[in-house]
Amino acid sequence: MTITLTGISKVFGDFTAVHPLDLTIPEGSFFALLGASGCGKTTTLRMIAGLEEPTGGSVRLGDEDITALPPHKRPVNTVFQNYALFPHLDVSENVAFGLRRRGIGSVRKQVEEMLELVELGPLAKRKPRQLSGGQQQRVALARALINRPQVLLLDEPLGALDLKLRRQMQLELKRIQTEVGITFVHVTHDQEEAMTMADTVAVMNAGRVEQLGPPDELYERPRSTFVANFLGTSNLIEAEITEAKGEELVLKAVASDTVLRLPADRCALENPQAGGKVLVGVRPEKISLTHAEDADADTGGADNLLTGRIRDAGYLGVCLQYVVDSPVCPEFSVYEQNVERDARLTPGTEVVLRWRPAHTFALDAAQDADAGTVEEAL
């Protein structure tokens, strides 16, 4: 069932944890709330579950207003980070718990089905302490799903797992959600986790949703510096619009006379006009880097082009990472596929960077260019 949050907010004392928020979570979707620690993800989730009373606004499930409904009357189940399994009950008893509590007598078939879904059949008789973190996580999931909730809320459910198991469980969770078809609302601060699993991601920052959309749209067309920096890495160049006619914007970098171009619909400004100040963005993997001697400096305006000098070259196996200082922007980040490695590309080398206007985006310059970066968080 579709979850609709309308103007929902939460104030603790004089601190606003969640600013009035409108959010529609479509039925059957895998929806992720993504954001840094303290941005209000858990509070939002708890308001959906009924565990936290909203200061204002309403929660609807389908057509029904459930704002005043106590948690146990909502067709919603939550899986928490610490799983909270019963230590003295074995796996199948843990999974059967919700049904038994509701006085349902013959639970065996349903428990078996659930254990099969989460691939734990052979471990049915073990106690939680005899399971790995990932296995415990799956018991917690089965225990929630057996109640056939219409909505499953997951609060950092993979937080206790090491990286490799986490990646594996992400695929597993996605498979289970596709199989059962119910709405999952997944809270995480891990951008890769949100991107690999969710159909729709809401990026939260300081109690507000900054941007909402499918992962590729958030990544390819961020609308704010926070989203551009929090999801992956972005190079941002200060620039001014010089031509805003037609479908292409022409810009000039503030620090030099470099001309840059991008499609007008990739600019986040409401109404881009000549003279408007923007931050021009490009992702590191969209850029090709060539030794200055080999570069064809004239692209006839087809590509965006920068010159610079390599500051740092890193070898990561799957890719090569370069940091390039350009007069237009210091510390330009470039990722090259590790296919034909040019051994001359070492620190100090003059290079030319180029990328397509279609891979360029532009953001309003009237915001902190470092919002959402790791440096800002420290």
Ligand X SMILES: Nc1ncnc2c1ncn2[C@@H]1O[C@H](COP(=O)(O)OP(=O)(O)OP(=O)(O)O)[C@@H](O)[C@H]1O
Residues engaged in binding Mg ion (CB under 5 A) = 42
Which residues are paired to 105 by β-bridges? none
* Interacting partner of 278 out of ligand X, Mg ion, none (Cβ under 5 to 8 A depending on kind): none
The verdict on 39 binding ligand X (CB under 6 A) reads yes
Rounded CA-CA distance 138/206 in Å is 31
* Interacting partner of 354 out of ligand X, Mg ion, none (Cβ under 5 to 8 A depending on kind): none
- Residue 368 burial (CB count, 10 A): 12
The verdict on 185 binding ligand X (CB under 6 A) reads no
CA proximity to 159, closest of 229, 80, 251: 80
One of 7, 26, 38, 347 touching ligand X (CB under 6 A): 38
Q: Using CB under 6 A as the criterion, what x/- string covers residues 311-330 for binding ligand X?
A: --------------------
* Residue 233, φ and ψ in degrees, nearest 5: -120, 145
* Interacting partner of 43 out of ligand X, Mg ion, none (Cβ under 5 to 8 A depending on kind): ligand X
The verdict on 191 binding ligand X (CB under 6 A) reads no
CB of 2 to ligand X, least distance (A): 23
* Residue 7, φ and ψ in degrees, nearest 5: 55, 30
The verdict on 41 binding ligand X (CB under 6 A) reads yes
Stretch binding ligand X (CB under 6 A), from 37-45, 97-105, 311-319, 365-373 = 37-45
**Helix, strand, coil percent content, the chain, rounded in steps of 5:** 25, 35, 40
The verdict on 14 binding ligand X (CB under 6 A) reads no
CB of 67 to ligand X, least distance (A): 18
CA proximity to 186, closest of 211, 158, 141, 154: 154
Q: What does the chain come to in residues? A: 378
The verdict on 17 binding ligand X (CB under 6 A) reads yes
* Interacting partner of 157 out of Mg ion, ligand X, none (Cβ under 5 to 8 A depending on kind): none
- Burial grade of 20 (CB within 10 A; 0-12, 13-18, 19 or more): middle
* Interacting partner of 38 out of Mg ion, ligand X, none (Cβ under 5 to 8 A depending on kind): ligand X
H helical segments located in 12-55: 41-49
The verdict on 43 binding ligand X (CB under 6 A) reads yes
Crossing angle between the packed helical segments 133-145 and 91-101, to the nearest 10 degrees: 20
Asked whether the beta carbons of 370 and 376 are under 8 A apart, the reply is: yes
Rounded CA-CA distance 226/368 in Å is 8
CB of 189 to ligand X, least distance (A): 5
Nearer to ligand X, 82 or 178 (CB): 82
* Interacting partner of 39 out of ligand X, Mg ion, none (Cβ under 5 to 8 A depending on kind): ligand X
Stretch binding ligand X (CB under 6 A), from 41-49, 270-278, 315-323, 336-344 = 41-49
- Long-range own/partner contacts, residues 38-43 (CB < 8 A, 24 or more apart): 39/204, 39/205, 39/206, 39/207, 40/10, 40/204, 40/206, 40/207, 41/155, 41/187, 41/188, 41/189, 41/204, 42/155, 42/187, 43/10, 43/17, 43/18
CA proximity to 201, closest of 62, 29, 77, 359: 29
Q: Which of residues 59-78 bind ligand X (CB under 6 A)?
A: none
One of 138, 143, 166, 189 touching ligand X (CB under 6 A): 189
Nearer to Mg ion, 42 or 349 (CB): 42
* Interacting partner of 315 out of Mg ion, ligand X, none (Cβ under 5 to 8 A depending on kind): none
Asked whether the beta carbons of 24 and 191 are under 8 A apart, the reply is: no
Nearer to Mg ion, 42 or 373 (CB): 42
CB of 208 to ligand X, least distance (A): 12
The verdict on 186 binding ligand X (CB under 6 A) reads no
* Interacting partner of 138 out of ligand X, Mg ion, none (Cβ under 5 to 8 A depending on kind): none
H helical segments located in the chain: 41-49, 91-101, 108-117, 133-145, 163-180, 191-197, 215-220, 225-230, 374-377
The verdict on 205 binding ligand X (CB under 6 A) reads no
Which residues of the shown chain bind ligand X in the complex (CB under 6 A)? 12, 15, 17, 35, 37-43, 189
